Each structure stands twice: as C-alpha cells, then as structure tokens.
C-alpha cells in the first residue's frame, strides 16, 4: 500500500510546532492543566502523533475523510 502525501507545507509546520509544544509543555510548564497525571501522558502522545504526521507528510485521518492540504500537482 502506497501512502501518498496529504499534508501540505503550512499544515506540516503547524503540526510540527504544536507537536513539539505538546511533548515539552508537561515537563517544563507550571500550568495547572499539566498537573493532572492523565494529561501529562496524553499531551506528549498527541504531540508525538502530530510530529510523526508532519515528518511523513501523511495523516490517516485526512485519508479517511478524503481531505488533503497538499497543492495539486
């Protein structure tokens, strides 16, 4: 199965920035939201998914709904 890119450049940059913030924030932030142990585990997992989808330029959710942010070639 060939996975074609469906994540565009702007979407990729936003995913990468948001993903890194979600991975790092629970460990360096004193925000009350991150004092919850569940959020401390879930936020980095979501961040990791965002970073991976940015790296591979492929989002399975976009594939399911038929969306793409890549420019047409």
The model's pLDDT over 16-55, given as tens digits with 9 standing for 90+, comes to 999 999 999 888 878 787 888 898 899 999 999 999 999 9
Give the Cα separation of 67 and 37 in Å (integer): 34
CB-based contact 8:36 (threshold 8 Å): no
Note the pTM of the prediction, 2 decimals. 0.85
For residue 58, pLDDT beyond 90 = yes
Give the Cα separation of 57 and 13 in Å (integer): 10
Q: What is the pLDDT of residue 2?
A: 63
pLDDT interval class at 1 (50, 70, 90): low
pLDDT interval class at 65 (50, 70, 90): very high
């Amino acid at each position: 199965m060939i996975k074609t890119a469906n994540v565009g450049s702007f979407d990729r940059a936003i995913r990468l920035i948001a993903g890194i913030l979600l991975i790092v924030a629970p460990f360096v932030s004193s925000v009350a939201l991150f004092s919850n142990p569940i959020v401390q585990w879930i936020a980095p997992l979501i961040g990791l998914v965002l970073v991976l989808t940015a790296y591979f330029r492929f989002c399975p959710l976009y594939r399911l709904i038929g969306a793409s942010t890549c420019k047409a070639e």
